Amino acid sequence: MYSNVLHYCKQINMRCRIFRSLEMPKTSENRQRLAADERRREYYEEQRNEYENYVEEERDEQYERTREKTEQWREWHYDGLYPPYEYNRHHV
């Protein structure tokens, strides 16, 4: 009976060692995978931020050009009346 228990405990102990030896590479592999995922996430976040900044700058430039053109159009078509817009002109 004692030898059976001792044999069983040795088997369990051996299984635990084998399991731990098999588990260690998986754990380090998971850590590497998580680190790679984090780097990938940071990279794509940085790319997205750069693109958003680019789009915002382009939008601001387009707005500024449109505003300048509108201002020039209003100055050119100003007829001395208030408000100085095209629709205020009196057509004869």
More confident residue, 81 or 92: 81
Residue 11: pLDDT band with limits 50, 70, 90: low
The arithmetic mean of pLDDT across residues 18-34, rounded, is 74
Do 77 and 86 contact (CB within 8 A), yes or no? yes
Which residues have C-beta within 8 Å of that of residue 90, sequence separation ≥ 6?
none
The pLDDT value recorded for residue 27 is 80
The arithmetic mean of pLDDT across residues 70-87, rounded, is 71
Residue ranges of domains in the chain = 2-87
The pLDDT value recorded for residue 28 is 81
More confident residue, 8 or 36: 36
- DSSP state at residue 86: G
